[in-house]
């Protein structure tokens, strides 16, 4: 495929070859921003989910507030954080983390709620304490739902990291923005394709993780 009226191909492989170092750097940046945000999101979500499970009435307001956060467009949230934390990675991580909360909390609570009452009674009958039952019965049985939440949060975050290019970060989004500003199609394509590949790889990784962590699910089938 070539550009209309131009002799340069749509993908300039020479550019890719010359810029491998930069591509590797941006890969680490993309992975780093994603990992920190999802992990922070998980920690905060576990805290909020424990509160929501212990005091039921707190669940609707928690999902309402995290739902509103989820609604605010990323570009606007980055901008609103500038006067508070400045133009930096902290800004990006706060915004990206806040987008993961709704997804992870919902799946945590739904997962724990989905554990059948009969299993809980069996656990009680076997002499588990409340804490023992929670960690050794409820959490493992809720794992598929919890991991499903982490998967969605991770794939969504990989996409949103590209927008942090406006903060001078961006991971692969840096290439997209640079390519748009300079009309250099190779950079746009490299940025978009690598971002999709990264999201897909992490998605598949979570499927493996789930299989690894819930071997009983395989035996049953």
Partner 1 sequence: MTVWEEVRAFLTDPATWSGPDSIPARLWEHLWISVVAVVIAAILVLPLAVWLGHIRRGSGVASTVVNIGRALPSFGILAISFLILVQLGAGVGEPWAVLVALIALAAPPLFTNTVTGIQSVEASTVEAARGMGLTGKEVLSRVEIPLSTPLVVEGLRIATVQVIATATLGALVAWGGLGRYIVDGFARQDMGRLIVGAVLVGLLAVLAELGLGALQRASAPKGARRGDIGNPAQRSTV
**Which chain residues interact with partner 1 by CB under 8 A?**
3-4, 67-68, 71-77, 79-80, 82-83, 87, 103, 106-107, 110-111, 114, 145, 148-149, 152, 155-156, 158-160, 162-163, 166, 173, 176-177, 179-180, 183, 185, 188-189, 191-192, 195-196, 199-200, 203
CA 167 from chain center: how many Å?
Answer: 19
- Angle at which helices 139-161 and 185-213 cross, to 10°: 170
Query: Encoding tokens for residue 139?
Result: 């959490």
For partner 1, give the closer residue by CB, 15 or 129. Answer: 15
CB 150 to partner 1: min, Å: 12
Helices and strands (H and E) in the chain: how many: 11, 0
For partner 1, give the closer residue by CB, 44 or 166. Answer: 166
CB 129 to partner 1: min, Å: 27
Gap between the Cα atoms of 60 and 79, Å rounded: 28
CB 30 to partner 1: min, Å: 11
CB 101 to partner 1: min, Å: 14
- Name every residue whose Cβ is closer than 8 Å to that of residue 190 and which is 6 or more positions away in sequence: 11, 16, 23, 172, 175, 179
């Amino acid at each position: 495929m070539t550009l209309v009226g131009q002799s340069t191909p749509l993908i300039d492989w020479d550019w890719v070859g010359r810029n491998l170092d930069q591509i590797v750097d941006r890969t680490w940046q993309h992975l780093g921003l994603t990992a920190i945000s999802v992990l922070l999101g998980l920690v905060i979500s576990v805290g909020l989910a424990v509160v929501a499970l212990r005091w039921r009435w707190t669940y609707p307001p928690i999902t309402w507030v995290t739902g509103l956060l989820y609604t605010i467009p990323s570009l606007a949230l980055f901008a609103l954080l500038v006067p508070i934390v400045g133009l930096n990675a902290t800004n990006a991580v706060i915004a990206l983390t806040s987008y993961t909360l709704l997804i992870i909390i919902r799946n945590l609570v739904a997962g724990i709620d989905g554990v059948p009452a009969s299993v809980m009674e069996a656990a009680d009958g076997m002499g588990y304490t409340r804490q023992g039952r929670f960690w050794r019965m409820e959490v493992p049985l809720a794992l598929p739902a919890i991991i499903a939440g982490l998967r969605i949060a991770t794939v969504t975050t990989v996409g949103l990291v590209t927008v942090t290019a406006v903060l001078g970060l961006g991971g692969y989004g840096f290439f997209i923005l640079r390519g748009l500003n300079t009309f250099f199609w190779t950079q746009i394509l490299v940025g978009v394709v690598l971002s999709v590949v990264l999201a897909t790889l992490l998605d598949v990784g979570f499927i493996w993780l789930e299989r690894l962590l819930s071997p009983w699910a395989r035996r049953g089938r």
